[in-house]
Structure 1
């Protein structure tokens, strides 16, 4: 019996457990109730009475030895499973990997800068829906029924009257709809800018896109004149593009302003000498502006005999292209990391 116990000691000591199946085989052979150690305890009855005590002590020692080995193997396999689930161990002596942070989109950088400039002049930020009715997008702004912008080649219509809808539902073509809603809700004085996305049914190219961003401005109060408009835009241009930038106003026409003017600045690329960007003129258009038409004020419930105002609008993409000399509008929507990383730290 004692010789058998010594053999089992040696067997347990040299037993290798690397998997759960091997651990289970170890348990069945040595630890379970039907294992070989249990069988030896049952065979004690055949041992002479004077030797039974010593043999029993040896069997208890063997049993405890087998249980310790079983628990040790179990703990080792659990630790290996946890380490495998957590991934490879981290070597703290290795040099750290740089934390690759992202960067703001150039359009977001320009938008935030525009907002900060106008906030310093007392303008707040207003927002409105991108899915709009014909009245807020066209009708209240004095667009005639036969205006080309109402046709399908310029506007994305969602529902047309002829298709069973009582009103035309469309994707807004400018953020002027926010001006109308603002004048309907609030009484003058009003001084707000309206940045946001707009949509037009145009072919995508280096200079045009079906989705782009605008920021429009509105100031309505008593005794607001064209000089206030010029002073506001002069300040904006100098703050955005630099004090050496020249600005000019050209007479123009918009249905919702009278008089109206388009805003040009001296080309930032050729410094006014003439290049392909400015078409050899030395000037680049950045915005449209004018005094709010009295009929537009009346459409919104504001007395045009008591209040006047000015409005302006500019494309954020155009401002960004001029500010950072980007020559292809499509780069703003392609999410090319090589392009976006050029704006880190701005």
Structure 2
């Protein structure tokens, strides 16, 4: 983002060659813009809306005054996402039960990019939920996309000095709450396979063996599907709730491993129908976080892969 000022915008979309140039630049960076918006918002639907608003703004820009198309597009997407993030706060306050990020089916190459996979992991996305909108935008741009401070300042409407302070505060906050160690996809898959086996056999002791003592279960039904109204903590409480719940439901449960948000996860089926997605947080080879998304409105992105990128 080498721009130091806003460029002049017209009232009508550009015609001819400039429209083609605008379209080409937008499409070339669309996956990056979506990734930025999604990491800021935690919602694919809202990220798509932010991109639509970015496009509507972009086609009115005088491209002759823009030195760096990618940087300027990121600036617009950041501003549109910030606007949405502030309005989403009210929606989340009225949300029924815990709110979890919208899971995305991702390609294997996302998992191979360690930094990208961690940045979109359910565990880190939940930590980002504890930041203010501006803190989240600054953290995402600086720590994930390595944007310079003065460029972030132009995107969030702050001075570079303020952005440095915000970045330090946000980084300290996130570091205190993010997983203590980086876990490989293989380690996550092994833990999930163990969880998958004991889940389908409803083995209480097996669950206790795979869950960390301090495990937290969060389930998101959005008021549409049944879910725990509050997070459940402790291995014994979580294991008993799972086993007892399955026993009372008297359903046929099956599951399959998949890749969600760049990390191994489970798709759960009840009586042959998709019921939800389980993502996990792993530390010391045991599950410390279980994140179960059941809200049907958040399961629209698990049928086909969503491309994500840091570039």
Normalized against structure 1, the TM-score is what? 0.20
Which is richer in helix?
Answer: 2
Normalized against structure 2, the TM-score is what? 0.22
Greater radius of gyration (CA): 1
Which is richer in strand?
Answer: 1
Which one scores higher on RCO, CA 8 angstroms, separation ≥ 6? Answer: 2
